[in-house]
Structure 1
Amino acid sequence: MPRPLVLKFGGTSVGAPEAMGQAAQVVAQARREHGPVVVVTSALNGITDLLLETTRAATQGANGKRGAAAAARILEAHRAIAAALLPPDAQASALDAVRQRVETFRRLISAIAVLGEVTPRAYDAVASLGERMSAPLLAAVLEAQGVPAQAVDATELIVTDANFQNAQPNLAASTPRIRERLLPLL
């Protein structure tokens, strides 16, 4: 098997229906021309900023309404892309994964607001959610375009030290997990 090509898409490359559709076309073409492709995606444009702004507000006493409003905006951004690019039957499963991450966000923000502070570990957990929401959506868009795809959560693959907000990957522990989880998909 040839080495997989790794494609990384930033937030503006997946942040609107047209952009995500174009990213999916790039992946499809790369797969035809190169063979196996691994896609790494950022959060939708603006989502990470919204997640972190809401986190900061929670530490400063913002009430739950701000977290609920942010969660609704995040879900709507993903729903708009799903509605534009996916058939109705594919929308539900793609959005279920997003909803699970949004619920995690709500719970984290609630805990942060109660404590009035955010630990480095909780901050990293919030910061990672945007990518973990966009990956299943992009995978569903690829599938809808006939490109076999499966979202894989980076937390299943990457092992780091416990130095949150400046964690270093443990390659010796991560490499076998990456091989075991990704190679069968290629």
Structure 2
Amino acid sequence: MALSDAPTNELSELHALVEGALRAAQAHPTAETTRKERHKARSRHFVLALADALREHEGGDVDALSRYHDNVRPRLGTGELLHDITISRSLQLGEHWYITEVLWQVESELSLDRTDAVQDFNKLVLGSAHHKLFVASMVPEPDSLLRTLEPAAARCTGRVFMALIPHPDHWDGDTAGGVRTWQFRR
């Protein structure tokens, strides 16, 4: 498995989606007083924005499932599946709705703890999505984190991407140019 940040159409589009979601999340003021509450609120806004961006990117006939989206709950019985974000298509047969295709599975772990990152990245191995994305906070040595995640990435089906964004503690400042993206390639 090789890791690449060489620009391709797909990687460039994904990079733009992640940057846009970060800007949208930063635009939400947070009234939380503690660092932990502020971090959680900022992470929630980022997941919402990224789910919406991926849904819009894939077209109008897809669902965005996340713990923060309730629009599919009446049909599918849940707002969130295993992943932080699942972008899927579904079909009604009789009275039941079935997921027929999973386009994106996204895990976001903004903790700086490498063990937390591995545990969340492992969830991507379980899925059948065409595209998988792991979003983490920028760390001092990104190459080391990428090498740590590579064994799990090698076990994933579909196209596997990684994005690093500034940690929520740094969202009050200018984060322009702070997003980095890669693709794990076979």
Answer yes or no: same fold by TM over 0.5: no
**With structure 1 as the length reference, what TM-score do the two structures score?**
0.30
TM-score using structure 2 length: 0.30
Looking at CA atoms only, which structure, 1 or 2, has the larger radius of gyration?
1
Between structures 1 and 2, the one with greater helix share: 1
Structure number with higher strand proportion: 2
